[in-house]
Chain A
């Protein structure tokens, strides 16, 4: 009776053939000496077709100088060599097995290059294993996207996509300390939608949300590249205008007011005349901090409201 032998050539051949890992063997002239079933299935080329042929002639997508060096180091040092899909997506261009849910072009591969000793103890061949890590890479990509979204959620307003109040205050604090240290100008604008409560009451909250989104859309069209917009709360918005003094901020604010006055904002097929009241304040050395600056703009906004709405009011230190 024959005891089971792990070195039984038939067992080994069966195992190598069926293994769900790509295996092939190169000789020192880069001719293929072994090509298992995984390789046949994924490359669409049978062992009979490829054995004895030089790998570079069969797979032109392979970076030849790089692979030559890689395999030669295994022959010379006798150690292993590796490639990871994180740095090099694939060695051979195979389709992957997530044609439906993949969102990735080709099979991602982790490869190991193995020194295979000949009878004299010298490295006679280099074996290469290819593990399909497409699933792992896809979940890594998904995780990174989720993390990026989480990061975004913590700084942006969900309805409009502009900064939320916390991020807005953080940005303003940074801008204030920047001008205090390095000089330059800085203005803050606060504005809100006139009679927003009536829109909500007459058309519903969904319509109110649409108006807010439309107002933000028009607002972003007025802003210049370094300007920062945020939703302070409800129907109230804040703009941070770096490198902008009182005069410049007045121009931006007036343009914003006019743009919205002319804008054709409609809800459920009905056109609404939407106007905004705007208050603004510019940084001076005697402004205590970013909260004080914001407070000044808010007081100017209150003044714009009480003076009849749809107007721009600048905060004046001497005459608040």
Chain B
């Protein structure tokens, strides 16, 4: 058992906190997109650098996703969001974001927009729970899956443990889905522990 791991109580509290945050995100996404959206029950845990590449890539079986977008966020906790899109990309959802025609140049922009909105909504929900307001960098397209696993190579990442939060996002009426992964390394784990302890103390 390593020192950074959460206790069972802390994990329960974390699950609850993240669940509320994602619930709020779902409500604001539905409002923005003006359609029914589904966010899965989020999963949160601490992963080691050695396991993170597998943890992320096994979320979506090999070859089923096409484009990966990443976006940095910062506040009391900082980290990066990774959004994995399926082969259908942003097809079917562009008009919900004000895009009138779907063409190649727009398709990347649609994916960046969807990522930004999804990440913004979830982190705004999370920020409300932990009393922080996040700042964001512009999202960028990372490329194909191989590149992602290279970037998450244990030898390539400058941290050893990270808090990982994952959630599926789906707009069923448009046949659209993507997968969101938030990774917050090292000190975010401790900062979150302090938040969780306060939550538990208040029970």
A binding-site residues for B, Cβ under 8 Å = 63, 65-70, 72-73, 76-84, 87-88, 110, 112
Contacts and interface: CB of A to CB of B under 8 A. Distances in A.
A76 B123 contact: no
Interface of B: 28-29, 31-32, 97-100, 105-106, 108-109, 112-113, 116-117, 119-121, 123-124, 134-136, 138-140
B139 A73 contact: no
The 4 closest A-B pairs by CB, nearest first: A79-B120, A69-B98, A82-B138, A87-B109
Nearest to A74: B120
Contacts of A82: 112, 116, 136, 138-139
A76 B96 CA distance: 14
B158 to A, nearest CB: 25
A128 to B, nearest CB: 13
A66 B32 contact: no
Nearest to B133: A78
B138 A65 contact: no
26 contacts: A63-B100, A65-B98, A65-B100, A66-B100, A67-B98, A70-B97, A73-B32, A73-B97, A73-B117, A73-B120, A76-B32, A77-B29, A77-B117, A77-B121, A79-B116, A79-B119, A79-B124, A80-B120, A80-B135, A81-B116, A81-B120, A82-B116, A82-B136, A87-B108, A88-B109, A112-B138
Contacts of A81: 113, 116-117, 120
B123 A79 contact: yes
Contacts of B97: 66, 69-70, 73
A112 B97 CA distance: 17
Contacts of A68: 98
A80 B105 contact: no
B185 to A, nearest CB: 22
Contacts of B99: 66
A207 B144 CA distance: 51
A84 B98 contact: no
Contacts of B29: 77
A83 B112 CA distance: 9
B124 A77 contact: yes
A144 to B, nearest CB: 16
Contacts of A65: 98, 100
A45 to B, nearest CB: 25
A67 B100 CA distance: 12
A110 B138 contact: yes
